[in-house]
């Protein structure tokens, strides 16, 4: 179901550059499950815009170590 959702429409990809960008953006997005986000982090993107675990409004890198891999994938591999 998640792959179907990812392929269902347009996608906007952002590369955020700042000190601790991954941690700050992850905090801004909130918990991956919007239902949980609405209870414990109601002002986050997922709490406000997410519908369920699949349609949770936004993807952010889970681990700081993965940021380079995801940037490479979205901005270099997919472009070719």
- Catalytic residue numbers read 59
- Written in H, E and C, the secondary structure of the chain is CHHHHHCCCCCCCCCCCCCCHHHHHHHHHCCCCHHHHHHHCCCCHHHHHCCCCCCCCCCCCCCHHHHHHHHHHHHHHCCC
């Amino acid at each position: 179901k998640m792959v179907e959702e990812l392929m269902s429409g347009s996608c906007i990809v952002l590369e955020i550059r700042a000190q601790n960008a991954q941690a700050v953006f992850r905090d801004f997005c909130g918990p991956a499950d919007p239902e949980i986000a609405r209870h414990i982090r109601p002002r986050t993107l997922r709490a406000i815009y997410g519908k369920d675990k699949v349609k949770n409004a936004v993807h952010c890198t889970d681990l700081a170590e993965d940021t380079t891999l995801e940037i490479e994938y979205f901005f270099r591999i997919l472009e070719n």
